[in-house]
């Protein structure tokens, strides 16, 4: 009992000292309100000269807020299955792909029925080995950097120094890529084959194939996360 009674004051003193060493979290609500007001005023000022610019401004702010609060990250969706075995974000990305696929298909098919130019056709680009190599290199880079473009911008807003460095080199790489893109497009990219699914499977078949691929990936991701439970 004597040793226990002697140790008790020490434990109490250490707990009090550790509680004093903890810094109280600052209330960031006032600062958030000020920043929100400033951003809103800037958006209104931008809207006076260009309503489209104001739309982009507020849309970017809303998307940034949603990304920050949901911790939605394309990098984590590709990285977590290999590192932690979790596929929660992977499945969330696949659901997002399914929703956007239906939306884009409806817009394009509607334009096709009306005999109008199909929007977004300039983004249907050739696919080749260069696509696989480029995506593999980008995947390595975004895992090392800890985020893709959207994740990096979101974390820069949170004050992460590493992401600020990543954003700097992201800009440098983008400028360098834009400078040399003409050569790559002429000698490498254009050598691939352009694939537009409605041309291959028809409009109805294209959305069925697209959704089927997403569903199969979703099932595979779910089974990957729960593979230990099955064993």
Output the pTM of the full model: 0.69
List pLDDT tens digits, range 157-206: 777 888 888 889 888 988 998 999 889 888 888 888 888 899 999 999 99
- The kind and range of the H/E element at 6 are helix 2-21
The residue with tokens 């499945």 is 91
The residue among 85 and 97 whose pLDDT is bigger is 97
DSSP 8-state code for residue 226: T
Question: What's the CA gap between 153 and 166, in Å, rounded?
Answer: 10
DSSP 8-state code for residue 189: G
List pLDDT tens digits, range 27-68: 777 877 888 888 888 888 888 888 888 888 888 888 888 877
């Amino acid at each position: 009992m004597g040793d226990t009674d002697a140790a008790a004051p020490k434990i109490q003193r250490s707990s009090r000292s550790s509680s004093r060493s903890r810094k109280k979290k600052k209330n960031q609500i006032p600062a958030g309100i000020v920043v929100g007001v400033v951003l809103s005023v800037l958006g209104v000022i931008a809207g006076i000269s260009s309503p489209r610019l104001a739309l982009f401004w507020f849309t970017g702010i809303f998307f940034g807020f949603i990304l920050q609060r949901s911790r939605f990250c394309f990098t984590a969706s590709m990285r977590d299955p290999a590192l932690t075995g979790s596929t929660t974000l992977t499945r969330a990305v696949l659901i997002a792909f399914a929703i956007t696929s239906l939306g884009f298909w409806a817009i394009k098919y509607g334009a096709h029925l009306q005999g109008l130019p199909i929007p977004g056709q300039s983004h249907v680009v050739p696919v080749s080995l260069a696509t696989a190599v480029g995506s593999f290199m980008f995947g390595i880079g975004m895992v090392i950097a800890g985020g893709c473009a959207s994740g990096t911008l979101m974390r820069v807003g949170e004050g992460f120094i590493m992401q600020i460095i990543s954003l700097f080199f992201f800009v440098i790489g983008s400028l360098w890529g834009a400078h040399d893109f003409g050569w790559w497009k002429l000698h490498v990219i254009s050598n691939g084959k352009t694939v537009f699914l409605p041309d291959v499977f028809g409009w109805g078949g294209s959305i069925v194939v697209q959704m089927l691929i997403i569903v199969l990936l979703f099932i595979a991701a779910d089974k990957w996360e729960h593979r230990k439970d099955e064993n």
